Chain A
């Protein structure tokens, strides 16, 4: 039986190596985009890069507590693996027979399909260590061991996690699916991370609705950069509401905030260039009493996606907002709505529905079944959320689209996974554990 497992592991390794070669290239490309003139250590998990000018700018990552490794890629506190363990970055290094794993950079592995010498070894979690990993989508983390003269892959002695307990992001107290365009009402409890951004007119002393947003941290709302192109980025001009069910009514569930800081992406171009590239912005919020958001049934954070998360095409996700129910409507919807949309393949969206000048890899497209649901004007900045590992992750930010729910014209969203470093560096939280829940 064990032999069978071993054979299937090896076979699996051979079969999947081709596929991973593709993702490898893609990830490689993705990374190089962040490379600029200054030294970059590529620190993960909120690690800080420090360099030494006196020594030709050689640099190293300073890892937050609980992380280790040259790129802070090793999670020293991880006790178990989730799903199939592809994201496992813990430190178990023994197989089920208590035999010590071979280090992934061991010379005897150089001709095996998985070793530390692979170009995408960092993405796969392989490096100068012998910790169990699952780089090829097997059922659980594994490693190579040496048996006499033979090298064999074996399954590791790690438990699967029961369920995450330490974080509250991406979990709603109540969930139900509704629609925005041709849709019905969503209770705020089903989208407790949604933020509403208002422009506060000092002249009329009235709030004018601007955009939606998502609470990614008690102090930070993520939204679209284009939300500020009409009225500027003076933070004193804006107000943010959380836990708000109706646009035109206040109740005791909602929390009101002033804005301390607005950071729009430096690479965002104004619309008149015809491109919505880098349509992303951060807002730091603070209440009149100086506090950030307080968690309740109506106010919760949404998880940021894992750095390398690429959801499959046609995955069903949700978009929500207070936008128009029809592009031609005069008024915004007064009530929060949610719609189901399916992710659309990048090439289809770029080449068939739009054109490569407009859609790039910083964007992700989604549309409703038979084009009946979509985000629309006024939903901008709001969340496109997808379920991953049993919780909701912020996969996209409502950005643009031609018309609303129009055939062959899907909604286009800012692809959040491309901006995790940007978010990280702007929030400057050293301890941004697993890019997940705020503590």
Chain B
């Protein structure tokens, strides 16, 4: 008996030890507070926002626990006459997020790529004469980030940014759209190459002939059967996507269907832009192929197309076992 309790204690200790610890704060670099991460949070995060004006600069640093899988990204651009630097880094060991990402990069005499820069917040992205920005790091490329969501959940979001940056997995265009939202992250690697001036809201990309199901919400609201509507896909978004996860506010069972670019399918941006965690996503090619998720969960993947009935049988078997376990009374009680 004692050994059983010992085992329980050991297990408790082990699970204690397993909890990650991260620095946790919102302010400047002098951060001493820490937090114990929840089970599903396997990483520590540091996000920094630096603004450099002529006379002074201001910095804001946020640290805390984070779900695994988020990319390390950075971007720098002009907005209202200031340079804005955004950077986010992740790491996976206790208190590893001590150092703030060095948003400024290394000031060296070597000159790196030059990119066009603008931000939606000062309406400069529609201006014919865009500013130019010199990248501060050899790893940086020219980036063009669009994030539009209607109805505006966060009306104050920056909808378009052009500048220098490192965006994970953006060699191919990263894109996703539904009727109400449109995301497109593009990178390129030559001087001033981010010169696409199309306003994706005013003049949508040409249709590519693919039609997918689209919805956003959960199985009773937003993605109920009557909410799921056909959507004609635009530009590089040639695949249908469907995803389920747990929404930061609405909770589990959050669903999403729409058109996505192939690169988007394997990238973590669904969870970032839609505030979802524990995302299971599935991309497919072909009209209306994203119809698997209906009740807020992704059914187990079929092993082969022929095995349609084979899948049903183990399921039946499992439920029989489960039923038996419930019906048969425990022998010791």
Partners in one complex: yes
Residues of A within 8 A of B (CB): 37-39, 48-60, 62, 70, 128
Residue contacts A-B, CB under 8 angstroms, 5 given: A54-B75, A59-B156, A60-B49, A70-B60, A128-B28
Interface of B is mostly: strand
Top 9 closest A-B pairs, CB basis?
A55-B86, A50-B156, A49-B156, A56-B47, A58-B49, A58-B47, A55-B88, A50-B121, A50-B158
When chains A and B are docked, how far (Å) is the Cα of A36 from the Cα of B221?
22
Instruction: Give the docked Cα–Cα distance between A210 and B110 (Å).
Output: 72
Task: Check A70 against B58 for contact (C-beta < 8 Å).
Answer: yes
Q: Which of B51, B58, B147, B156 has the most CB of A within 10 A?
A: B156
B324 within 8 Å of A by Cβ?
Answer: no
Query: How far is the CB of B187 from the nearest CB of chain A, in Å?
Result: 13
- Is B240 in the interface zone, CB < 8 Å from A? no
Query: For residues 151 through 192 of chain B, which have their beta carbon under 8 Å from a beta carbon of chain A?
Result: 153-154, 156-158, 185
Known: A37-B249, A70-B60. A53 touches B47 (CB 8 A): no
Which residue of chain A has its CB nearest to the CB of B273? A53
In the complex, are the beta carbons of A54 and B73 less than 8 A apart?
yes
Q: Tally of A-B residue pairs with Cβ under 8 A? A: 62
Distance in angstroms between the alpha carbons of A56 and B58 in the assembled complex: 19
The bracket for how many chain B residues form the interface is: 20 to 34
Q: Judge whether B121 and A62 touch: CB under 8 Å.
A: yes
Bound-state CA distance A52–B49 (Å) is: 10
Q: In the complex, what residue of chain A is closest to B45 when comparing beta carbons?
A: A56
Q: Does B157 contact A51, Cβ atoms closer than 8 Å?
A: yes
**Which B residues are CB-close (under 8 A) to A37?**
249
Measured between beta carbons, the chain B residues less than 8 angstroms from A51 are 154, 156-158
Pairwise interchain contact B49-A53, C-beta atoms closer than 8 A: no
In the complex, chain B residues whose CB is within 8 Å of the CB of A128: 28, 58
| B125, CB-defined interface residue at 8 Å | no
Contacts of A50 in B (CB 8 A): 121, 156-158
- Nearest CB in chain A to that of B88: its residue: A55
Contact: A53 with B156, CB < 8 Å? Answer: no
B101 CB to nearest A CB, Å: 10
Specify the chain A residue showing the minimal Cβ separation from B53. A68
CB within 8 A of B88: which of A48, A56, A70?
A56
Give every chain B residue within 8 A of A53 (Cβ-Cβ). Answer: 147, 154, 157, 272-273
Whether the pair A60, B51 counts as a contact (CB closer than 8 A) is: yes
Closest chain A CB from B170 CB (angstroms): 11
A426 to B80, CA, bound (A): 24
Report Cα–Cα, A39/B47, bound state, in Å.
15
Q: How far is the CA of A128 from the CA of B86 in the complex (A)?
A: 20
Contacts known (A54-B73, A56-B45); A48 close to B58, Cβ less than 8 A? no
B142 at the interface (CB under 8 A from A): no
Q: Give every chain A residue within 8 A of B272 (Cβ-Cβ).
A: 53-54
B154 touches A58 (CB 8 A): no
Q: Report the minimal beta-carbon distance from A94 to chain B, rounded to whole angstroms.
A: 16
Given contacts A54-B86, A62-B121, 11 further A-B contacts (CB under 8 A): A37-B249, A38-B153, A50-B157, A51-B154, A51-B158, A52-B49, A54-B75, A57-B154, A58-B60, A59-B156, A60-B60
